[in-house]
Amino acid sequence: MTRARVGAIAVAGSLALGGGSAAAAPAPLPAAPTVTIATTGAWCWFADPRAIAYRGRAVFGWVAGDGSIMVGDDLGRRFALDPRLQRDDHDNPAFYVRRDGRLMAFWSAHNGSELRYRTATDGIDAWGPIATAPANPAGGASHYTYPNPIRVGSTLFLFWSGAATTATFATSPDDGASWSRARTLFDPAGPRVRYVKYRQAGGEIHLAWTLGHPREGASGVYHAIIRGQGIYRQDGTAIGRLGVPISPTAGDLVYAPATAGGAWVHDLVVQDGRPTIVYATFPTAADHRYRVARWDGRWIEEQLAVAGPSFEESGAEPSYSGGIALDPADPGVAYLSRRVGAQFELERAARTLDGWSLAPLTHDSPEPNVRPFPVAGGLAWMRGRYPGYTSFRTALAWRPGATTAPAAATGVRIASGSVARDRRLRIVARQRTGILRIRVVRPTTDGRIAIVGEARARLRRGTATVVLPRLPAGRYRVSAWQADERLTWRHVRIPASPSEATRRAGATRVVGPSGPPRP
């Protein structure tokens, strides 16, 4: 066990509580200190949880520069679970807290020959010997990658990418003292299901997956639920029994690749039985988009943000988006990395009735910030150069309290709740300059964001006047945006245009004393 020096280092990109674009917003307030957890370290996004809150501390797992599989916390304590295994960021450990309160860690080499685990004997300072998980089922290539331990009731499920490089699992009734035989979750004769996000919710395990690697073809996003010994779609339709491989396309298709290119799943959160899934899509290799699907009696799917290109430098992995993760306590909030100007920066995205509003968490950074992961009320991420997954030069950083919502924009308001027939609307933004984007949204009853018009206006001396698009008379939500951040919104009543008013007058029939008009 070693103790590293953990410095309170202020990252160059600071927390912009005021929001807005760099040129238009006031100088951001100082950020909470950023802690360097590992000077060289990396993780992938399919072996989870890669970091957890444990005994009042934030605990992290990563692959070190020398290939060691590491565990450490925000106090600077470190332990090498498997020294010099392999320098490959697919190998990061995933954590599980046993019923007796002790910590377990699971990991493997990338497409390794076995899946290993250890159980802590004293916090994270001392660990028992390395043990191995059950052997893969027979059939196909036998590899191990991406462990995901999850407990439902008294049963520990351990999922991984195993036989025939598809999702495989085993169970333990006694927190790893004994194991069932391993079984395949999906039919290996179909497209391989290697990339899966798992989330426990009550007595259920939700799954979200894509088919194969993006380089192998365009995939949609699928979802299903393990409940007891059955496997179900979200609406309760049974699609299989646990232990009998199901078709890779048997679940709900929540996103079709015809929408905006093939997809790669990134995260899954379940709140009150309703799943939310985020994923990257690829209209082109250089144009990634973050999209989100959520269940609200039916699947509602929408774009969240433009994500830019891959952050991987060699060009071998053109689908390595900066990364996106949902807030586990609020799936209407996400933390994402995307290219802003010339650099990959972190942003906090919050869903509003007018669209997803993005506020910067890092700003003008000297090096990339990628693969964010919320943990213990803070945000952890990789920071630095990334030539490839076996040659990463990233540090592992953590900012306590980074998941706190930024302060609302001040000094910005829409001056009136109604407009005249010239459709002119005045916006006041005393502390800002530049271009405002005005969005008009029609209220819906199903929670969908129905954008019906947009306009732009330049601020001059703290005010801007915009001419709203021609729309049918009625009450709309009008919001003011700068970059991708919503600054303010207001209900605005738009009157009928002169031509519409004339048409309405011509269509009016007068009801006289003799009663209503005849049909």
CA distance 348 to 337: 9
| Contact in structure between 399 and 35 (CB atoms under 8 Å) | yes
Tokens of 43: 């993780």
pLDDT tens track for 310-341: 999 999 999 999 999 999 999 999 999 999 99
* 295 closest CA partner among 206, 230, 396: 206
**Residue finishing a domain among 351, 366, 400:** 400
Q: What is the pLDDT of residues 456-511, one digit of tens each?
A: 999 998 999 999 999 999 999 999 999 899 999 999 999 886 665 555 545 444 33
Residue 334: how many other CB atoms lie within 10 Å: 28
Q: How far are the Cα atoms of 188, 303, 321, 372 from residue 310, in angstroms, in the given order?
A: 29, 18, 5, 15
Same domain, 325 and 432: no
On whether both 448 and 360 belong to a single domain, the answer is: no
Query: Residue 151: is it exposed, middle or buried by C-beta count within 10 angstroms (0-12/13-18/19+)?
Result: middle
With a cut of 90, say whether residue 162 has pLDDT above it: yes
Residue 383 lies in a domain: yes
Give the CA distances from residue 335 to residues 122, 420, 507, in Å, rounded to whole numbers and listed in that order: 33, 40, 52
User: Do both 382 and 421 map to the same domain?
Assistant: no
Tokens of 328: 């586990």
Mean pLDDT of 175-185: 96
Q: What is the mean pLDDT of the chain?
A: 89
Which CATH number belongs to the domain containing residue 428 in this structure? 2.60.40
Shared-domain flag, residues 323 and 422: no
Tell whether 267 and 146 lie within a shared domain.
Answer: yes
- Domain membership flag for residue 3: no
Q: Is residue 9 part of a domain?
A: no
DSSP secondary structure letters along 49-90:
-SEEEETTEEEEEEEETTS-EEEEETTSEEEEEETT--S-GG
Residues 491 and 344 in one domain: no
Using DSSP's 3-state secondary structure scheme, residue 506 falls into helix
Flag whether 30 is in a domain.
Answer: no
- At 354-382, the pLDDT tens digits run 999 999 999 999 999 999 999 999 999 99
Q: Looking at residue 216, what DSSP letter applies?
A: G
Q: Are residues 263 and 381 in the same domain?
A: yes
428 and 393 co-located in one domain:
no
25 inside domain: no
Domain range for 343 is: 35-400
Are residues 334 and 426 located together in one domain of the fold?
Answer: no
Residues 116 and 200 in one domain: yes
Is it the case that residue 519 has pLDDT exceeding 50? no
pLDDT digit string (tens) for 235-292?
A: 999 999 999 999 999 999 999 999 999 999 999 999 999 999 999 999 999 999 999 9
Type of residue found at 460: R
Q: What is the pLDDT of residue 24?
A: 36
| Residue where a domain terminates, one of 375, 400, 425 | 400
Question: In this structure, is residue 517 part of a structural domain?
Answer: no
What are φ and ψ of residue 507, in 5° steps?
-85, -10
For the chain, what is the radius of gyration of the CA atoms? 26
Query: pLDDT digits over 199-223, tens only?
Result: 999 999 999 999 999 999 999 999 9
The tally of domains found in the chain comes to 2
Tell whether 24 is covered by a domain: no
Q: Report the pLDDT value the prediction gives residue 141, as an integer from 0 to 100.
A: 74
CATH of residue 115's domain is: 2.120.10.10
Residue 51: CB atoms within 10 Å: 30
Pair (394, 430) in one structural domain: no
Alpha-carbon gap, residue 384 to 324, rounded angstroms:
17
pTM higher than the cut 0.85: yes
Q: Which residue has the tokens 């391993």?
A: 182
Q: 400, 428, 452 — which closes off a domain?
A: 400
- Asked if residue 510 is part of any domain, the answer here is no
Which positions ≥6 away from 479 have C-beta within 8 Å? Answer: 352, 354, 355, 438, 439, 441, 486, 487, 488, 489, 490
Residue 273 and residue 231 share a domain: yes
**The tokens 């039916």 sit on which residue?**
298
What's the whole-number mean pLDDT along residues 149-157? 97
